[in-house]
A and B are shown apart, each in its own frame.
Chain A
Amino acid sequence: MNIVVCLKQIIDYEIPPRAFRIDRQKKKPAMPDASLVIGPFDENALEVALQLREKAGGGRITAVSMGPESAIEALRKALAVTADEAVLLSDPAFSDLDPFGTARVLGAAIKKLGGADLVLTGRQSGDWDAGQVGQLLAEELGAPCVNFAFRAEPGGDGRVRLYKETPGGAEILEAGTPVVATVTNAETNQLRLAKVRDLMAANRKPVPTWSAADLGLDPAALAAGRIEVLDLYVPTYDARCEFVTGETPEDKASALARRLVELKLV
Chain B
Amino acid sequence: MPGIVIVATAEGQGTNPAALELLGGGAGLAKALGCPLEAVLVSGSGTDPAGPAAKLFAGGARRVYSVRHERLGNGSPEAALEALTAACRRAEPRVVLFSADRLGLEVAPRLAHRLGGSMITDAVALEVRDGDVVATRPAFGGKAMEQVAARATPQVVTVKLRALEPAALDESRSGELVEVPVDLDPGVDRVKLVERVEEAAEGPKLETARVVIGGGRGVGGAENFKQLEELARVLGAALGASRAAVDEGWVPASWQIGQTGKAIASDLYIAVGISGASQHTAGISGVKTIVAINTDPEAPIFERAHLGVVGDHKAVVPALTARLKELLGK
Task: Please list the residues of chain A having a beta carbon within 8 angstroms of any beta carbon in chain B.
Answer: 11, 13-18, 20, 22, 27, 29, 40-41, 99-100, 103, 123-124, 126-132, 135-136, 138-140, 143-147, 150, 161, 165-176, 179, 184-188, 190, 224-235, 237, 239-244, 248-250, 252-254, 256-261, 263, 265-266
Question: Which residues, 184 to 207 on B, are CB-close (under 8 Å) to A?
Answer: 187-188, 190-199
Q: A174-B191, A256-B309, A257-B327 are in contact. Are A17 and B196 (CB under 8 A)?
A: no
Any A CB within 8 A of the CB of B142: yes
Report the minimum CB–CB distance from A138 to chain B (whole Å): 7
Which A residues lie within 8 Å of B306 (CB)?
Answer: 239-242
Which A residues lie within 8 Å of B142 (CB)?
Answer: 17, 235
Report the minimum CB–CB distance from A6 to chain B (whole Å): 15
Which of B190, B193, B327 sits near A176, CB closer than 8 Å?
B190
Total CB contacts across the A-B interface at under 8 A: 265
Are B145 and A16 in contact (CB-based, < 8 A)?
Answer: no
Which B residues lie within 8 Å of A230 (CB)?
Answer: 134, 147-149
Q: Which 6 A-B pairs have the closest CB atoms?
A: A253-B319, A249-B315, A169-B199, A257-B323, A226-B118, A226-B152
Are A228 and B149 in contact (CB-based, < 8 A)?
Answer: yes
Are B105 and A227 in contact (CB-based, < 8 A)?
Answer: no
Are B235 and A185 in contact (CB-based, < 8 A)?
Answer: no
Are B289 and A265 in contact (CB-based, < 8 A)?
Answer: yes
Q: Which residue of A lies closest to B75 (CB)?
A: A166
Would you mind naming 17 contact pairs between A and B with Cβ atoms under 8 Å apart?
Answer: A14-B277, A17-B143, A99-B119, A128-B146, A129-B121, A131-B122, A132-B121, A145-B110, A171-B197, A172-B195, A173-B194, A174-B191, A174-B194, A234-B143, A253-B309, A257-B324, A265-B289
Interface of B is mostly: mixed
Report the minimum CB–CB distance from A50 to chain B (whole Å): 16
- Give Cα distance in the complex from A260 to B252, angstroms: 29
Which B residues lie within 8 Å of A226 (CB)?
Answer: 117-119, 150-152
Question: Which residues, 273 to 330 on B, are CB-close (under 8 Å) to A?
Answer: 275, 277-279, 289-292, 297, 300, 302-312, 315-317, 319-320, 323-324, 327-328
Report the minimum CB–CB distance from A18 to chain B (whole Å): 7
- Give Cα distance in the complex from A150 to B328, angstroms: 42
Are A237 and B253 in contact (CB-based, < 8 A)?
Answer: no
Report the minimum CB–CB distance from A180 to chain B (whole Å): 10
Q: A14-B277, A144-B191, A230-B149 are in contact. Are A266 and B235 (CB under 8 A)?
A: yes
Which of A17, A100, A165, A258 sits near B300, CB closer than 8 Å?
A17
Any A CB within 8 A of the CB of B27: no
Are A227 and B139 in contact (CB-based, < 8 A)?
Answer: no
Any A CB within 8 A of the CB of B247: yes
Are A233 and B268 in contact (CB-based, < 8 A)?
Answer: no
Q: A16-B300, A227-B118, A242-B306 are in contact. Are A254 and B319 (CB under 8 A)?
A: yes
Q: Which residue of A lies closest to B139 (CB)?
A: A128
Which of B119, B139, B247, B304 sits near A239, CB closer than 8 Å?
B304
Q: Which residue of A lies closest to B310 (CB)?
A: A243
Which B residues lie within 8 Å of A231 (CB)?
Answer: 146-147
Are B144 and A234 in contact (CB-based, < 8 A)?
Answer: yes
Are A136 and B110 in contact (CB-based, < 8 A)?
Answer: yes
Q: Which residue of B lies closest to A231 (CB)?
A: B147
- Give Cα distance in the complex from A213 to B110, angstroms: 27
Report the minimum CB–CB distance from B197 to chain A (whole Å): 4
Since A147-B106, A232-B144 are in contact, a sample of 7 more A-B pairs with Cβ atoms closer than 8 Å, ordered by chain A residue number, is A99-B109, A123-B260, A131-B109, A132-B119, A226-B118, A253-B317, A257-B323
Which B residues lie within 8 Å of A143 (CB)?
Answer: 190
Which B residues lie within 8 Å of A184 (CB)?
Answer: 253, 260
Question: Which residues, 126 to 152 on B, are CB-close (under 8 Å) to A?
Answer: 134, 138-152
- Give Cα distance in the complex from A29 to B143, angstroms: 10
Which B residues lie within 8 Å of A150 (CB)?
Answer: 253
Are A249 and B319 in contact (CB-based, < 8 A)?
Answer: yes
Which A residues lie within 8 Å of B199 (CB)?
Answer: 168-170
- Give Cα distance in the complex from A244 to B315, angstroms: 15
Which A residues lie within 8 Å of B328 (CB)?
Answer: 261, 266
Are B309 and A252 in contact (CB-based, < 8 A)?
Answer: yes
Contact with A along B93-133 (1 / 0, CB 8 A): 00000000010011001100110011111100000000000
Which B residues lie within 8 Å of A259 (CB)?
Answer: 307
Contact with A along B43-62 (1 / 0, CB 8 A): 00000000000000000000
Which A residues lie within 8 Å of B246 (CB)?
Answer: 185-187
Report the minimum CB–CB distance from A266 to chain B (whole Å): 6
Report the minimum CB–CB distance from B221 to chain A (whole Å): 14
Which B residues lie within 8 Å of A250 (CB)?
Answer: 315, 319
